[in-house]
Amino acid sequence: MLDLKFLRENREVVIKGAEAKGIDINLDPIIEADDRRKALIQEGDNLKSRRNQVSAQVGKLKKEGKDASSVIAEMESVKTRIQEIDSEMREVEKNLTALLLTIPNIPHTSVPIGKTPADNKEIFRWGEIIKPDFPMKPHWDLTDKFEIVDFSRGSKVTGAGFPFYVGKGALLERALINFFLDHAGQRGYKEIAPPIIVNEDSARGTGQIPDKEDLMYVVERDQFYMIPTAEVSVTNFHRDENLNESDLPVKYAAYTPCFRREAGSYGKDVRGLNRLHQFDKVELVKFVHPLKSYDELELLREDAERVLQLLGLPYHTLLMCTGDMGFTQAKKYDLEVWAPGQQKWLEVSSCSNFESFQARRMNIKFRPDNGGKPEFVHTLNGSGLALPRVVAALIEHYQTPEGKIIIPKVLQQYTKFEVIG
């Protein structure tokens, strides 16, 4: 959520920022609602002042033994109007908040203007793209061959996009989760195990609603949402709290299964592990000082990249353009790993700075060390990492001419085996 004062004073900036994200907005209803709110506050303050005057006048008349009926009648009229104003104020503020929730975050000035993924900017590349002397298979051929991921039984039990991991596939999945969490701990993130279902306030706080309802699974009977990412649970951990400036940055790492309906993406890169409805992910979340948030974003990106380097998987980092960025982000990097069996890049992480956009929704502030007025923190998060495409790329990258899969050395202490096949 944007600051209302900033929005009023920078209307063109807000409108152009939304347009750059491909979103049309109308700020007039917001300004009108805010004007009405201010008018009601002024009228209410005037009436309360008058009520105090009349109350004192009534006491004086009664003390003097004079008729106070007309003054009492005026006081009752003022009281009634104050109640009406209070009631209207609640409706106006509710409407104003709802309107503000529809306004997207403004892209940072360093974000390239663009409309499609073709406008994203590659800023870094690591690792050598394999040019093998044997035909490399896509991961789904290898998972079927070694019976380590069962897509057909997952489809039978739940539906497409809900696979079973079996045997060494399940061990590999668990090994990666532990490896990612251990790495995050070494980088100063406190591990946290959050709920995987959240209430409406939590989904609204991180911006999943009213923007991404169609992508979320809903437990309608209890009005809960299955989390699409641990970002939702973990960022809400400090909702309605004031942190201490001296404690910033506060950093958490969380493993959870994630659930996404992926509405509108059917037929798009859905083969094998490329696009699932349930998948495992380790999420990194930061609460940081506003003056340091962009430095912290670079550190967050480095934390996510380092894992891919340790696994020996070639990747590149993209600075996302305005049109390929989400509703809530001010700046976002995507990490894409190279899958040689498919000859394509697969996204495995997004690292984002939301500035105070989420913190305003959740009312998360920090107390300055100098004793000044509490300020909103900036929130950041990044995948560290999402597992399905990491598994896909790892299987394809480490396949051998004999048709086996070598386990990277950094994982062998976790898997307790060196090869699949």
Can the peptide bond before residue 29 be classed as cis, meaning omega within 30 degrees of 0? Answer: no
SS3 168: helix
Alpha carbon distance 330, 21 (integer Å): 10
- Angle 118-121-127 from CA coordinates, rounded to 5°: 110
Tokens 């430095």 belong to residue: 295
| Distance between CA atoms of residues 170 and 150, nearest Å | 11
Q: Tokens 């959050």 belong to which residue?
A: 194
Encoding tokens for residue 79?
């009281």
Are 203 and 358 contacting, i.e. CB atoms less than 8 angstroms apart? no
Query: What is the sign of the dihedral through the CA atoms of 416, 418, 420 and 421?
Result: negative
> Do residues 234 and 208 lie in contact, with contact meaning Cβ atoms separated by under 8 Å?
no
Strand (E) or helix (H) holding 82: helix 69-100
Question: How buried is 110 (Cβ within 10 angstroms: 0-12 exposed, 13-18 middle, 19+ buried)?
Answer: exposed
Order across the sheet with 190-191: list the strands. 121-126, 315-319, 331-339, 344-353, 378-386, 278-288, 250-259, 190-191
Tokens 């699974």 map to which residue? 217
Rounded distance between C-alpha atoms, residue 191 and residue 166, angstroms: 26
- Residue found by looking up tokens 């061990």 in the block: 171
Given a contact cutoff of 8 angstroms between Cβ atoms, the answer to whether 180 and 307 are in contact is: yes
Residue numbers annotated as active site: 260, 275, 347, 350, 389
Integer-rounded Cα Rg, in Å, for the chain is: 27
Provide, for the chain, the percentages of residues in helix, strand and coil under a 3-state DSSP scheme, each rounded to the nearest 5: 45, 20, 35
Question: What is the token pair recorded at 42?
Answer: 């002024």
**CA distance linking residue 62 with residue 390, whole number of Å:** 83
List, in sequence order, every residue forming a beta bridge with 317; answer none if it has no partner.
124, 335
User: Is the peptide bond between 385 and the residue preceding it cis, with omega within 30 degrees of 0?
Assistant: yes
